[in-house]
């Protein structure tokens, strides 16, 4: 079965879960063709670099090729192209991106449709319910090839009416939510008669993630936060918590692994509070470096204000590290407070300080017990082989192929 995987940016530093999903589907016998609007210029992982070589990009298409493909699709599928333009105008009027941007999506969809028809693609799957799902929907209308998409959140949940998420669900074969919370948000935005289309399929980890046996060292008073430096991730509150702990005389190190639009603001706050000796920002690092930072810490801190279900939590739990997280989105579905770590209300500085202090001063035996429980839970819920098989069965069910 030939599947086209499409997203806005691929491969991307924070989207390794897509790469794992593609590889798992290929192991099940699927031929997966990778298409994206553009690559991520920040990638440093050799695996991502290899994926980039296998991906075809709309922004890399020459103008003459684009014109030729669009003319060909217009001549061979005039009703499909016309319908896609009408649909783009319809959803573009209410969009936060505007009508002009949606007409660009229609042009990009025409290119995607041409590639899919030329390569005998049987199904299109997009990741994220924003513009990738819009382009996949329009490409499906042009080509007649069915489409599905995965919604991660929180961006889609924040503005579902402005991105026509309900219309995307109505027209697709099915839509994937990565958590029960995500499913509930999709239920909010579309009529109950379409709820049967919403499936929960978790992001998964490859077997290698479950092989680490390192135990926390009693002297490792280090915490790590991994993720894009952005408003939704809550790192400013984390710096406030670090300031509070430092003022109390706590001995600790906090590593913030990642980069993003708020890096300069966070660095300024670190300097303002004189925390340079205790807080370190790594910038973008590759997957092995992220793994090493997690293993060197006694726990992962996720102070998020809004989320879907962070893959880095799964990775840390697979490495037998407890989690300090917030009661946000799908996090409590995976992490049980007191069993796999500590959960606190989002933005509650006092509670976050208490949780970080408790972790820093917890006996090694407590951390080891939490780490083992975390490993067992994520192994059962987020194995890429199991989750990819669920997705494969759903794909095959759409085109009449016997499921696995």
Pair 15, 57 in one domain? yes
Strand 147-151, strand 123-127: pairing = parallel
C-alpha dihedral, 204 to 205 to 210 to 211, nearest 10°: 160
Same domain, 136 and 257: no
Residue 4: which of 104, 80, 88, 117 has the closest Cα? 117
Q: Is residue 404 part of a domain?
A: no
Same domain, yes or no, for 388 and 332? no
Whole-number Å distance between alpha carbons of 391 and 28: 11
Return d(Cα 326, Cα 307) in angstroms, integer: 10
Question: Is the domain of 30 the same as that of 136?
Answer: yes
Q: Quick check: helix, strand or coil at residue 255?
A: strand
Output DSSP code: residue 403.
Answer: P
CA-angle at 162, arms to 263 and 4, nearest 5°: 80
Cβ neighbourhood burial of 327 (10 Å; 0-12, 13-18, 19+):
middle
Distance CA 88, CA 104 (A): 9
Q: Specify whether 369 is located in the same domain as 311.
A: yes
Number of domain units in the chain: 2
Would 132 be classed as within a structural domain? yes
Task: For residues 263 and 361, state if they share a domain.
Answer: yes
Same domain? For 159 and 190 the reply is yes
C-alpha dihedral sign at 36, 41, 43, 46: positive
Q: Is residue 226 part of a domain?
A: yes
Residue-level pLDDT, tens digit, the chain, 404 residues: 999 999 999 998 778 899 999 999 999 999 999 999 999 887 878 888 999 999 999 999 999 998 999 899 999 999 999 999 999 999 988 888 888 999 999 999 999 999 999 999 999 999 999 999 999 999 999 999 999 999 998 999 989 989 999 999 999 999 999 999 999 999 999 999 999 999 999 999 988 888 766 555 545 899 999 999 999 999 999 999 999 999 999 999 999 999 999 999 999 999 999 999 999 999 988 888 999 999 999 999 999 999 999 999 999 999 999 999 999 999 999 999 999 999 999 999 999 999 999 999 999 999 999 999 999 999 999 999 999 999 999 999 877 666 55
Can you tell me which residue has the tokens 């998420």? 165
Residue 388 within a domain? yes
Are residues 229 and 328 both part of a single domain? yes
Same domain? For 187 and 245 the reply is no
Alpha carbon dihedral 287, 289, 291, 295, in 10-degree steps, equals: 180
Q: In which domain, by residue range, is 322 found?
A: 207-381
Residue 43 lies in a domain: yes
The answer to whether position 219 is within a domain reads yes
Has residue 403 been placed in a domain? Answer: no
Residue 21 in domain: yes
Residues 263 and 200 in one domain: no
- Looking at the fold, whether 225 and 213 belong to one and the same domain comes out as yes
- State the CATH number of the domain containing residue 199: 3.40.50.2000
As a dihedral over the C-alpha atoms of residue 303, residue 304, residue 309, residue 312, rounded to 10 degrees, the angle is -50
Beta bridge partner(s), residue 55:
34
H-type alpha helices, 198-348 = 235-247, 263-272, 287-295, 311-318, 331-334
**pTM across the whole model:** 0.92
pLDDT digits 0-9 by tens, 124-177:
999 999 999 999 999 999 999 999 999 998 999 989 989 999 999 999 999 999
- Do 344 and 391 share a structural domain? no
Write out the H or E segment, with its range, that includes residue 31. Answer: strand 31-38
Closest of 257, 372, 255 to residue 322, by C-alpha: 372
């Amino acid at each position: 079965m030939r599947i086209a995987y499409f997203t806005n940016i691929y491969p991307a530093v924070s989207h390794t879960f897509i790469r794992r999903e593609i590889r798992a589907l290929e192991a099940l016998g699927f031929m997966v063709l990778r298409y994206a609007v553009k690559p991520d210029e920040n990638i440093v992982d050799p695996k991502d670099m290899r994926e980039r070589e296998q991906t075809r990009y709309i922004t890399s298409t020459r103008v003459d090729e684009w014109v030729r493909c669009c003319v060909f699709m217009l001549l061979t599928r005039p009703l499909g192209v016309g319908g896609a333009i009408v649909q783009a105008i319809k959803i573009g009027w209410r969009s936060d991106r505007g009508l002009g941007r949606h007409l660009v999506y229609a042009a990009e969809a025409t290119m995607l449709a041409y590639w899919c028809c030329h390569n005998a693609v049987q199904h299109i799957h997009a990741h994220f319910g924003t513009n990738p799902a819009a382009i996949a929907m329009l490409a499906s209308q042009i080509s007649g090839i069915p489409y599905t998409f995965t919604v991660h959140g929180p961006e889609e949940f924040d503005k579902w009416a402005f991105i026509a998420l309900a219309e995307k669900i109505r027209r697709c074969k099915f839509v994937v939510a990565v958590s029960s919370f995500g499913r509930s948000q999709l239920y909010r935005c579309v009529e109950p008669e379409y709820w049967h289309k919403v499936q929960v399929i978790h992001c998964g980890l490859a077997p290698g993630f479950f092989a680490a046996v390192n135990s926390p060292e009693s002297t490792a008073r280090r915490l790590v936060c991994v993720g894009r430096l952005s408003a939704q991730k809550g790192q400013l509150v984390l710096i406030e918590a670090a300031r509070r702990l430092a003022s109390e005389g706590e001995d600790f190190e906090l590593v913030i692994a990642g980069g993003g639009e708020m890096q300069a603001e966070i660095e300024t706050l670190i300097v303002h509070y004189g925390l340079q000796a205790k807080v370190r920002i790594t910038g973008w690092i590759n997957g092995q470096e992220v793994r090493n930072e997690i293993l060197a810490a006694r726990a992962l801190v996720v102070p998020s204000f809004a989320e879907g279900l962070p893959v880095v939590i799964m990775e840390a739990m697979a490495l037998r590290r407890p989690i300090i997280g917030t009661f946000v989105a799908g996090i409590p579905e995976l992490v049980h407070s007191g069993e796999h770590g500590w959960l606190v209300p989002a933005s509650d500085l006092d509670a976050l300080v208490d949780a970080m202090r408790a972790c820093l001063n917890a006996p090694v035996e407590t951390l080891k017990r939490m780490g083992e429980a975390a490993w067992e839970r994520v192994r059962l819920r987020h194995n890429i082989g199991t989750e990819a098989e669920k997705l494969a069965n759903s794909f095959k069910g759409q085109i009449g192929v016997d499921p696995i």
